[in-house]
């Protein structure tokens, strides 16, 4: 924890004076370190900490997992709020909630005495089979950028460093320690890098974690192009880079130092003193190379207040009612209603008498089947867990009978889906199947024959096939992994206390072969190399290009009310250079209950010299409306929103000509269309 330094200490070591300019503090401390001490600071110890330099009063810098709540130990003795998975948070399409999550989890990190959270994970969802899809946000670079920036700002508002990961193209778990991602410059620029870049330019992210994989033949931890040339020199990153845990295994000490890897975790291997000394003496790197790496690390130590007294840094808090309320709010807004035949949902608690509750994910608190306490770096130990069954019992208390016999029930809810066991939604390996487990499919089909109103609630973190059963059920609810308040949030949606407003942040294909990565073994999972032959055509861009009908499209989500779109107005029909275009739309709640709609704006280049997507998301807004209420949504567009990356000139380019502005409720539900012309 922070402590107060005496006047004598501050006089001896000016870097301890919080009133001194940041960069002067950094240079003062850097100048006092010996070469051996710099070697020592370059690697971690005891899994989560840097090494102290007792001679100078340099304290350990502590960093913890994870992306859905801080985990300060491996035994579960230190409890912390378990927030919904990143894919659920992203499905809210609500940047304010990403900020609130970041702020809350930052408070929890500070409360356990740490200085950095190993989050957010912002890798693009390239394949539905990635074991870590649930940890990431979306297939779309623009949505990814907006939510990543909000999350980083929230975390760092508490003077806790966000560690943005995994830089870059860590899009699968298969062979993740060795595979080389073979990806074009255009795909990097348009799809995989924008969110990472934005967290630097717009949120001043204080740390980046390097990926396990190679990118175009070079490991992330020693990739000069990624770390030095792009991140540091081009984007102006002032924080430090840290390896993913043991990601340096096959790298070179000298190459990592020269590339700009500040910190090797969890312990000294490539960065042990012997290797560092040898590489330095042989001229593998210079002291200035090393200085810049250490300078970045100690800069963040000052930014998080490691040398300031306790009164000078934000006060932490953990497991508060406020944090639990944020967790529940995210889950409620992130739940996506995928199907609702005959308005089967919401259930009316005053009319329904008996509900059958089935499925393996109804009660997630049993030993060995605990979704909250497994899954790799996402493991959490919350103070309590509200399972879906708990939530239903709490809601239905003394009003509705819960049974296990569908034939006797007015409605049956099957809590199906996946869990964090290996081969499902878990770090370390990709999913083994795109289908639900066969016993769940059989349960759904059998139950649908016994009960006319069968509702499927999916608890999972990635797309799954539904063709074998979806036509037989009345409703499908995508509830994701909803954190410790999941049960209450699900019950709130089922009974209509919350009108669902989440929308998909990735395309759900009907079959796996429809997905862009699943053309051949070459494109997934690869062998020594995995080839991103689809280029920029990831997610809905691919489905549009190939005219493939998805099971559910990007941006899709139903509501218990309806919304109408009218009066698309564009203030300029012809634009050039630095003009700002204002686009306005009137959105009306044309139904009978209050609801939230996510208005999405896509751009389409009508004629281009190179192949471009049919449409690309460029703006969105979540708007809350009472019945019959109309609000005007205004978007501002700039020249850069019309651009593509041209590899021939290694630059972003906007070509003259017509562009369509498409506004709608999903990527496949465009309600209004207008046109503008770009002039030189």
So which residues are the catalytic ones?
244
From 603, 605, 606, select the one nearest 620 (Cα to Cα). Answer: 603
The encoded tokens of residue 345 equal: 């949902």
Nearest of 675, 559, 656, 670 to residue 617 by alpha carbon:
670
Q: What share of the chain is helix, strand, coil (3-state, %, to 5)?
A: 30, 20, 45
Contact 445, 412 (CB under 8 A): no
The span from the first CA to the last CA of the chain, in angstroms, equals: 57
> Helix and strand tally (H, E) in the chain?
17, 27
- The residue behind tokens 């295994």 is 249
- Return d(Cα 122, Cα 118) in angstroms, integer: 12
The DSSP secondary structure of 331-345, one letter per residue, reads HHHH-EEEEEGGG--
Q: Write the DSSP string, 607-620.
A: S-SS---S-EEEEE
Residue 678 contacts residue 656 (beta carbons within 8 Å): yes
Report which DSSP code applies to 371: G
> Two tokens at 419?
């869990």
Q: Please list the residues that pair with 206 across neighbouring strands.
A: none
Strand bridging mode 581-589 / 563-570:
antiparallel
Written in H, E and C, the secondary structure of 118-166 is CCCECCCCCCCCCCCHHHCCCCCHHHHHHHHHHHHHHHHCCCCEEEEEE
Is residue 110 within 8 A of residue 314, CB to CB? The reply is yes
Please state, in angstroms and rounded to a whole number, the distance separating the CA atoms of residues 172 and 6.
Answer: 50
Strand order in the sheet with 581-589: 563-570, 581-589, 630-637
How many of the other CB atoms lie within 10 Å of CB of 204?
17
The Cα–Cα gap between 94 and 110 comes to 25
How far out from the chain centre does Cα 569 lie?
Answer: 33
The answer to whether 216 and 184 are in contact (CB under 8 A) is no
With beta carbons less than 8 A apart as the criterion, state whether 53 and 35 touch. Answer: no
The residues pairing with 358 across neighbouring beta strands, listed in sequence order, are 414
Which stretches of 507-655 are assigned E, i.e. beta strand?
529-531, 563-570, 574-576, 581-589, 595-605, 616-625, 630-637, 644-646, 651-653
Does a cis peptide bond (omega within 30 degrees of 0) precede residue 658?
no
At residue 598, what are phi and psi to the nearest 5 degrees? -105, 105
Q: Alpha-carbon distance 66 to 380, whole Å?
A: 8
Rounded to 10°, the helix 141-156/95-111 angle is: 40
């Amino acid at each position: 924890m922070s402590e107060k330094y005496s006047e004598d200490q501050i006089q001896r070591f000016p870097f301890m004076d919080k009133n001194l300019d940041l960069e002067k503090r950094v240079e003062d401390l850097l100048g006092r370190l010996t070469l051996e001490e710099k070697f020592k600071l370059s690697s971690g110890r005891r899994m989560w900490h840097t090494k102290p330099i007792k001679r100078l009063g340099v304290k350990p810098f502590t960093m913890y997992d994870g992306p859905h709540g801080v985990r300060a130990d491996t035994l579960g003795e230190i409890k912390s709020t378990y927030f919904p998975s990143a894919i659920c948070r992203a499905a809210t399409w609500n940047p304010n909630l990403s900020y609130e999550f970041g702020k809350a989890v930052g408070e929890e990190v500070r409360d356990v005495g740490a200085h950095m959270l190993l989050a957010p994970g912002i890798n693009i969802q390239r394949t539905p089979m990635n074991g870590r899809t649930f940890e990431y946000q979306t297939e779309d670079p623009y949505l990814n950028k907006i939510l990543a920036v909000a999350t980083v700002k929230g975390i760092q508002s508490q003077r806790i460093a966000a560690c943005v990961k995994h830089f870059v193209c860590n899009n699968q778990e298969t062979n993740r320690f060795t595979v080389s991602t073979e990806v074009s410059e255009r795909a990097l620029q348009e799809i995989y890098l924008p969110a990472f870049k934005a967290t630097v330019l717009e949120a001043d992210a204080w740390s980046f974690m390097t990926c396990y994989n190679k990118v175009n033949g070079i490991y992330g931890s020693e990739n000069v192009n990624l770390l030095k040339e792009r991140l540091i020199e081009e984007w102006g990153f002032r924080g430090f880079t840290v390896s993913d845990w043991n990601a340096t295994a096959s790298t070179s000490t000298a190459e990592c130092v020269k590339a700009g890897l500040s910190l090797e975790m969890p312990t000294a291997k490539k960065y042990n003193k012997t290797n560092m000394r040898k590489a330095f003496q042989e001229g593998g790197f210079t002291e200035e190379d090393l200085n810049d790496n250490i300078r970045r690390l100690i800069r963040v130590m000052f930014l998080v207040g490691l040398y300031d007294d306790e009164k000078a840094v934000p006060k932490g808090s953990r497991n508060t009612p406020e944090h639990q309320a944020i967790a529940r709010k995210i889950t409620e807004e992130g739940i996506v209603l995928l199907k609702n035949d005959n308005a089967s949902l919401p259930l009316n608690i005053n009319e329904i008498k008996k509900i059958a509750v089935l499925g393996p994910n109804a009660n997630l608190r049993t030993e060995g089947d605990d979704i909250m306490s497994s899954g790799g770096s996402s493991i959490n130990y919350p103070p309590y867990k509200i399972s879906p069954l708990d939530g239903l019992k709490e809601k239905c208390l003394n009003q509705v009978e819960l049974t296990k016999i569908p034939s006797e029930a007015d409605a049956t809810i099957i809590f199906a889906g996946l869990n964090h066991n290996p081969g499902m939604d878990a770090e370390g390996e990709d999913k083994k199947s795109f289908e639900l487990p066969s016993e769940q499919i059989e349960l759904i089909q059998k139950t649908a024959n016994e009960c006319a109103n069968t509702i499927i609630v999916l608890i999972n973190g990635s797309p799954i096939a539904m063709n074998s059963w979806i036509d037989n059920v009345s409703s499908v609810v995508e509830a994701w992994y909803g954190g410790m308040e999941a049960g209450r949030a699900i019950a709130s949606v089922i009974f209509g206390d919350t009108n669902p407003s989440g929308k998909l942040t990735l395309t759900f294909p009907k079959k796996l072969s429809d997905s862009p990565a699943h053309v051949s073994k070459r494109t997934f999972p690869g062998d020594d190399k995995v080839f991103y032959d689809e280029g920029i055509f990831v997610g809905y861009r691919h489905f549009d290009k190939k005219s493939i009908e998805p099971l559910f499209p990007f941006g899709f989500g139903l509501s218990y009310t309806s919304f109408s779109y009218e009066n698309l107005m564009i203030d300029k029909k012809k634009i050039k250079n630095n003009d700002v275009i204002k686009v306005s739309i009137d959105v009306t709640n044309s139904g009978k209950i209050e609801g939230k709609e996510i208005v999405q704006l896509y751009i389409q280049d009508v004629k281009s010299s190179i192949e471009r997507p049919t449409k690309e998301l460029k703006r969105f807004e979540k708007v809350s409306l009472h019945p019959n209420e109309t609000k005007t949504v205004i978007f501002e567009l700039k020249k850069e929103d019309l651009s593509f990356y041209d590899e021939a000139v290694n630059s972003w380019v906007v070509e003259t000509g017509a562009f369509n502005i498409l506004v709608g409720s999903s990527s496949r539900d465009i309600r209004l269309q207008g046109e503008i012309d770009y002039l030189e």
